[in-house]
């Protein structure tokens, strides 16, 4: 892309949970904005959102919408929107940063977490770059320094995923169910198949024949692609929890070579975007409540796993709307403006 001093940015899905977070992040990071084009479905068209001290009206996204003049488009809507508009935008010469699962595993689409594999942005033949699933991003942020320090043999990850990963409607559902239950009324489930308030759903996405969730498959495949470790041995169990924001992960790692918790802590502390938050004796460990609204991936409870050679346990918490989605997308846009 031609280097400019300011850019025209389009956001598809501007009124969703990730879209709104994106506007905050463009503000905070003073992204060099010439102007913004905000797109959403008919229902939200006409809303006015503010960013960088100016107000921007949300336009309805239709097959007739013209994207002329846009430099970057960030898409965070549905798979169908990404499929339809991703190709159209890229054909119009616009750089697309896509948050869906549609393009992530395609060979000619880089899948990028800038701190981990920024170099993958060098080849964007389709002018599309994907950002990973919101559980993959914190996982690779924590694994990368361990991979470099001692090699990774096998990973067992169990996730505790907040409802905002599903979107704003799921956040409303958790709140409404909670309000109704506290008033001894029925808790209706519409977004999820069952009540999520005061409950756990070991089910994210759809199930394949082997009984894996699509979310579990995504974590496996995306992690291998980002870490450039196609044979990495990894298994995942993904669980929805009654938390509003932040995804948490219990990560068990078998390393190729010995790495003491102290040295793992040092390697993680050097990783940009990672905050080592690990002093159990002072009751300091990552929690969703603390990580909400924060950019860093919080890593704690770093300890030896004596059940295997070179085993480590970690507990990782990250704001799924920020580093898991909007922040990672804006960081990629920043990288591309510097190319």
Q: Could you give the residue numbers annotated as active site?
A: 134, 247
Decide if residue 117 touches a copy of itself (CB under 8 A).
no
Decide if residue 161 touches a copy of itself (CB under 8 A).
no
Angle in degrees, 0-180, between the axes of helices 136-150 and 261-269, rounded to the nearest 10: 120
Decide if residue 169 touches a copy of itself (CB under 8 A).
no
13 carries a ligand binding annotation: no
Alpha carbon 100 to its chain's center: 10
16 carries a ligand binding annotation: yes
Minimum CB separation of residue 251 from a copy of itself in Å reads 9
Decide if residue 202 touches a copy of itself (CB under 8 A).
yes
Q: How far apart are CA 84 and CA 68, in angstroms?
A: 17
265 carries a ligand binding annotation: no
**Binding segment (CB under 8 A) for a copy of itself, from list 6-14, 55-63, 89-97, 230-238:** 230-238
Query: In this complex, which beta carbon is closest to a copy of itself, that of residue 78 or of residue 158?
Result: 158
- Answer yes or no: are the C-beta atoms of 71 and 81 closer than 8 Å: no
Decide if residue 299 touches a copy of itself (CB under 8 A).
no
Residue 58's nearest CA partner among 48, 70, 67, 69 is: 48
Decide if residue 287 touches a copy of itself (CB under 8 A).
yes
Decide if residue 294 touches a copy of itself (CB under 8 A).
no
Question: What do you get for the CA distance between the two ends of the chain, in Å?
Answer: 8
- Answer yes or no: are the C-beta atoms of 59 and 38 closer than 8 Å: yes
Place of tokens 């501007």: 14
The answer for 33, left when phi > 0, alpha when psi is -120 to 50, beta otherwise, is beta
Half-sphere exposure of 298 (CA within 13 A, CB side): 25
Decide if residue 168 touches a copy of itself (CB under 8 A).
no
Following DSSP, what letter does each residue of 46-115 receive, concatenated? Answer: T-EEEETTEEEEEEEP-TT---TT-SEEEE-S-HHHHHHHHHHHHHTT-EEEE-SSSSTT-TTS-B--HH
Decide if residue 188 touches a copy of itself (CB under 8 A).
no
199 carries a ligand binding annotation: no
Question: For 252-275, what is the HEC assignment?
Answer: EEEECCCCCHHHHHHHHHCCCCEE
Decide if residue 300 touches a copy of itself (CB under 8 A).
yes
Residue 151's nearest CA partner among 226, 253, 220 is: 253
* Residue 65: φ, ψ to 5°: -55, 130
Considering only 30, 63, 307, 338, the residue that binds a copy of itself (CB under 8 A) is 307
Decide if residue 285 touches a copy of itself (CB under 8 A).
yes
Q: How far apart are CA 338 and CA 1, in angstroms?
A: 9
Minimum CB separation of residue 232 from a copy of itself in Å reads 8
Q: How many helices (H) and strands (E) does the chain have?
A: 9, 13
**Binding segment (CB under 8 A) for a copy of itself, from list 9-17, 52-60, 69-77, 200-208:** 200-208
Decide if residue 244 touches a copy of itself (CB under 8 A).
yes
Decide if residue 234 touches a copy of itself (CB under 8 A).
yes
Q: How far apart are CA 314 and CA 294, in angstroms?
A: 19
Minimum CB separation of residue 159 from a copy of itself in Å reads 9
**Binding segment (CB under 8 A) for a copy of itself, from list 33-41, 49-57, 62-70, 235-243:** 235-243
Considering only 288, 319, 320, 326, the residue that binds a copy of itself (CB under 8 A) is 288
Decide if residue 243 touches a copy of itself (CB under 8 A).
yes
Q: Which positions make up the binding site for substrate?
A: 161, 240
Binding site for a copy of itself (CB under 8 A): 154-156, 158, 160, 175, 178-179, 182, 193-195, 198-203, 207, 210-213, 233-235, 237, 239, 241-244, 248, 250, 252, 261, 278, 280-281, 283, 285-289, 300-308, 311, 313, 315, 317
Q: Which positions make up the binding site for phosphate?
A: 104
């Amino acid at each position: 892309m031609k280097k400019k001093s300011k850019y025209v940015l389009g956001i598809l899905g501007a009124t969703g949970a990730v879209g709104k977070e994106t506007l905050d992040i463009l503000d905070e990071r003073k992204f060099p904005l010439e102007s913004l084009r905000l797109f959403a479905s008919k229902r939200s068209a006409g809303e006015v959102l503010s960013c960088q001290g100016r107000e921007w009206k949300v336009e309805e996204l239709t097959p007739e919408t013209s994207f002329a003049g846009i430099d970057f488009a960030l898409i965070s809507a549905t798979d169908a929107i990404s499929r339809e508009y991703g190709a159209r935008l890229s054909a119009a010469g616009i750089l697309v940063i896509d948050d869906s699962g549609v393009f992530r595993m395609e060979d000619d689409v880089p899948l990028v977490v800038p701190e981990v594999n920024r170099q993958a942005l060098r080849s964007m033949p389709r002018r599309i770059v994907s950002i990973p699933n919101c559980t993959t991003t914190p996982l690779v942020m924590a694994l990368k320094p361990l991979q470099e320090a001692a090699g990774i043999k096998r990973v067992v990850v169990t996730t505790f995923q907040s409802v905002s990963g599903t979107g704003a409607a799921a956040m409303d559902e958790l709140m409404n169910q909670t309000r109704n239950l506290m008033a001894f009324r029925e808790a209706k489930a519409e977004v999820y198949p069952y009540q999520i308030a005061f409950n756990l759903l070991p089910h994210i996405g759809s199930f394949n024949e082997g009984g894996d969730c699509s979310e579990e498959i995504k974590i496996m495949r995306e992690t291998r692609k980002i870490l450039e470790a196609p044979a990495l041995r990894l298994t995942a169990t993904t669980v929805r929890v009654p938390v509003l924001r932040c995804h948490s992960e219990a990560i068990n790692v078998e390393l190729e070579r010995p790495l003491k918790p102290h040295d793992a802590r040092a390697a993680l502390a050097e990783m940009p975007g990672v905050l080592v938050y690990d002093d159990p004796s002072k009751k300091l460990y990552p929690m969703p409540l603390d990580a909400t609204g924060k950019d860093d991936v919080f890593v704690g409870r770093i300890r030896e796993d004596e059940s295997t050679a070179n085993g480590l346990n970690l507990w990782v918490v990250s704001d799924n709307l920020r580093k898991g989605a909007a922040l990672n997308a804006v960081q990629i846009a920043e990288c591309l403006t510097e190319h």
